[in-house]
Amino acid sequence: MVAHDPVFALNHMCAPDLSISALCELARDLGAAGIEIRNDIAGNAIADGTPPASVARAADEHGMRILSINALQRFNAWDGAREEEARALIAYARACGAEALVLVPTNDGTGRANGERQANLRIALKALRPMLAEAGIVGLVEPLGFETSSLRCKAEAVEAIEALQAGSTFRLVHDTFHHHLAGETRFFAAHTGLVHISGVTEGALETDRMRDGHRVLVDDGDRLGNIGQLRTLMDAGYAGCVSFEPFSESVHRMPDRQAALAQSMRFVAEGVRRYAA
């Protein structure tokens, strides 16, 4: 049984208009343990050239862990360009004090064939392993549940990580949205390094039509089963961070995001306490 509340964190996608310092301040005021920074927010760190020392200083001033840089995209389409990008992101992560680098697979319909996708995954993990290990950075593999994704299921990622005996370097991101989309029923708490949560509340929306833009804060209208997923993970021993990752512009435009996030945190924590596993 769960003996503690979830440990919350904020992905920068909660408030992409905020500076890193302001994001750290928001996370601190909400009682969160850390933040995730992104390399895909125009006009903000990392995309605007903010030095990693500035990111480290902002986190330190507000007592925040930097849980990850999100993300090395198309990591399993390994080539020279991917290696160059990976080296730059790993160097940035090390310099700013980030604990991990999120690894996101191709999601354009390519590399999905049975045999091909497993081989591509292993090639990428084998190439990334020494780079991450040397820097002391964890690689967080995040399967995407979309039908166009080349890595939909966590089971396939775990199989590759175990085959390479690389569990000290690679962990999973359990994303509640993508877990739901993939229709995956297995949980891998012992392999999970980070949890992403978001909700989908549109009642008439079919699962195969759910997209990032539908992802809002978790409340009593949630269709993804966030509470059940979290309770299952926590009952199985997961004690890491639970990071809010809402992509919907309706969240980004909220006049009082702090109050909305606080309300969602309370809802999730209370739900996990009540949930009958």
Rounded to whole angstroms, the Cα distance separating 193 from 211 reads 24
Domain spans in the chain, listed from the N-terminal domain onward: 7-239+246-274
Record the pTM: 0.97
Per-residue pLDDT tens digits of the chain, which is 277 residues long: 666 899 999 999 999 999 999 999 999 999 999 999 999 999 999 999 999 999 999 999 999 999 999 999 999 999 999 999 999 999 999 999 999 999 999 999 999 999 999 999 999 999 999 999 999 999 999 999 999 999 999 999 999 999 999 999 999 999 999 999 999 999 999 999 999 999 999 999 999 999 999 999 999 999 999 999 999 999 999 999 999 999 999 999 999 999 999 999 999 999 999 986 4
Per the listing, tokens 């549940």 go with 145
Tell me phi and psi for residue 192, to 5 degrees. -90, 130
Q: How big, in percent rounded to 5, are the helix, strand and coil portions of the chain? A: 45, 15, 40
Q: Which of 112, 135, 139 has its CA nearest to residue 126?
A: 139
Tokens for 78, please give them: 């390994």
Contacts of 65 (CB under 8 A, 6+ apart): 9, 33, 34, 35, 59, 99
What CATH number labels 7-239+246-274? 3.20.20.150
